[in-house]
């Protein structure tokens, strides 16, 4: 693989943020990802709260952009780029050195001002696993700001909607079928974005981000798109998160063949994406059969059948969530040495 003498009870000092239990759970989650019972799926939302439920949206007639802090603007931009985020994901991206309660208060404030919606899916386990997603106003104001003069502007131009993107419509009484996949994709992207060893210049996880065709090419629809600076140069990464729900033949037709066709024309990629080459990073989980290494091997074999198999990298979803800058990747030339789900077993 690639590489604190009084009769009164003492009160905590409110000036110093308390170490939140969520941080301890997050550390535990990292090593548990190497355990059999958890490695095939990134950990669920740790940002569960039990305070008074918040209304889905409390719009203001004219929210004042001048009251937005730089961190507020960053939160809204992340929500637009990643569709919807759990409270824990927002905390990790924008409030990493504060208590989770600080992030929750700011999310409620932005909801009252009409910048975002808060949604709580039904749950049988108690607590409130809440998500935030952008309002129509936020989509309208943020999307035009994403275009800039970076070399990969052609890539962004391909992904920006031709008309106004509509906000998500989420029912309080049901969970959309796509939610588990989107949450797991954003677990991965949030972890990559938060890793100090990786310099991410662009990260998005829009559904069907590209037009269906580009000239003679049928375009693949990656689950996430990264532009990462490596050695001073931008590297384009198309991310695919595989849950083991489709046969390998479908992966061949919808992923391997489409990406391979594009990779054969670096001049087209340079013109249309602003970057001539790319890699495809595939994270694998297997919540049904619970045999993620076997699933990974099957996808490796499919990629190996392509002349452009070298552009593909494979890993387990739990490994990528826990250690996004470590040598956790298999290639068509380097396969798993066993069925072990601890990546250290494959390090040699």
Per-residue model confidence as pLDDT tens digits over 91-100 = 999 999 999 9
Least confident of 27-31, 71-75, 242-246: 27-31
Kindly state the tokens that stand for 269.
């990629």
Smallest CA-to-CA distance from 205 within 123, 283, 294 is with 283
pLDDT at 34: 36
65: confidence class by pLDDT, cuts 50, 70, 90: low
Task: Find tokens 């470590």 and name the residue.
Answer: 326
Q: What are phi and psi of 170, to 5 degrees?
A: -120, 125
pLDDT at 166: 84
The whole-angstrom separation of Cα 92 and Cα 186 is 11
343: confidence class by pLDDT, cuts 50, 70, 90: confident
Q: Is 80 exceeded by the pLDDT of residue 206? A: yes
DSSP one-letter code for 330 = B
pLDDT at 171: 84
- Average pLDDT of the chain is 83
- Residue range 109-132: mean pLDDT, rounded: 85
- Residue range 145-169: mean pLDDT, rounded: 87
C-alpha pair distances (Å), 50 with each of 87, 231, 320: 13, 45, 30
The residue with greater pLDDT, 112 or 126, is: 112
226-260 confidence digits (pLDDT tens) = 999 999 999 999 999 999 999 999 999 999 999 99
Q: Is 90 exceeded by the pLDDT of residue 280? A: yes
pLDDT at 234: 96
Q: Is 70 exceeded by the pLDDT of residue 290? A: yes
The whole-angstrom separation of Cα 256 and Cα 246 is 14
- Residue range 5-27: mean pLDDT, rounded: 42
Q: Is 70 exceeded by the pLDDT of residue 190? A: yes
pLDDT at 4: 38
pLDDT at 37: 39
Helix (H, G, I), strand (E, B) or coil at 233: strand
128: confidence class by pLDDT, cuts 50, 70, 90: low
DSSP one-letter code for 224 = E
Q: Is 80 exceeded by the pLDDT of residue 222? A: yes
pLDDT at 127: 52
Helix (H, G, I), strand (E, B) or coil at 209: coil
Find the farthest-apart pair of alpha carbons in the chain and give their distance in angstroms, rounded.
81
C-alpha pair distances (Å), 268 with each of 87, 221, 276, 277, 279: 40, 17, 7, 10, 15
pLDDT at 320: 97
The residue with greater pLDDT, 151 or 8, is: 151
Q: Is 116 left (phi over 0), alpha (psi -120 to 50) or beta?
A: beta
% of the chain surpassing 70 pLDDT? 79
- Residue range 30-41: mean pLDDT, rounded: 41
Smallest CA-to-CA distance from 93 within 209, 187, 197, 230 is with 187
The whole-angstrom separation of Cα 88 and Cα 131 is 9
Q: Is 50 exceeded by the pLDDT of residue 3? A: no
270: confidence class by pLDDT, cuts 50, 70, 90: very high
DSSP one-letter code for 163 = S
- Residue range 50-58: mean pLDDT, rounded: 31
């Amino acid at each position: 693989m690639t590489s604190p003498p009084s009769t009164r009870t003492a009160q905590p000092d409110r000036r110093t943020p308390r170490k939140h239990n969520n941080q301890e759970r997050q550390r535990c989650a990292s090593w548990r990802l190497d355990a059999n019972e958890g490695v095939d799926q990134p950990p669920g939302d740790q940002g569960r709260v039990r305070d008074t439920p918040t209304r889905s949206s409390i719009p203001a007639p004219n929210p004042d952009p001048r009251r937005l802090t730089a961190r507020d603007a960053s939160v809204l931009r992340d929500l637009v780029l990643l569709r919807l985020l759990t409270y824990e994901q927002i905390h990790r991206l924008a409030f990493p050195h504060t208590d989770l309660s600080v992030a929750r208060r700011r999310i409620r404030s932005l909801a009252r001002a009409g910048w975002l919606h808060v949604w709580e899916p039904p749950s049988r386990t108690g607590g409130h696993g809440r998500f935030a997603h952008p309002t129509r106003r936020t989509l309208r104001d943020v999307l035009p700001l994403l275009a800039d003069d970076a070399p990969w502007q052609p890539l962004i131009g391909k992904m920006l909607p031709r008309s106004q993107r509509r906000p998500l419509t989420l029912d309080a009484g049901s969970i959309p079928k796509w939610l588990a996949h989107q949450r797991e994709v954003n677990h991965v992207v949030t972890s990559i974005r938060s890793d100090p060893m990786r310099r991410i210049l662009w990260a998005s996880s829009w559904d069907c981000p590209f037009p269906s065709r580009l000239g003679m090419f049928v375009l693949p629809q990656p689950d996430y798109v990264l532009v990462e600076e490596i050695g001073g140069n931008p590297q384009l990464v198309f991310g695919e998160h595989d849950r083991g729900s489709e046969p390998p033949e479908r992966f061949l037709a919808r992923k391997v063949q489409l990406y391979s066709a594009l990779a054969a024309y670096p001049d087209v990629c340079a013109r249309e994406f602003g970057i001539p080459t790319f890699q495809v990073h595939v994270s694998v989980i297997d919540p049904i059969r619970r045999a993620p290494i076997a699933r990974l091997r099957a996808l490796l074999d499919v990629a190996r059948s392509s002349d452009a198999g070298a552009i593909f990298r494979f890993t387990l979803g739990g490994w990528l969530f826990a250690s996004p800058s470590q040598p956790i990747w298999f290639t068509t030339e380097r396969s798993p040495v066993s069925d072990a789900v601890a990546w250290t077993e494959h390090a040699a």
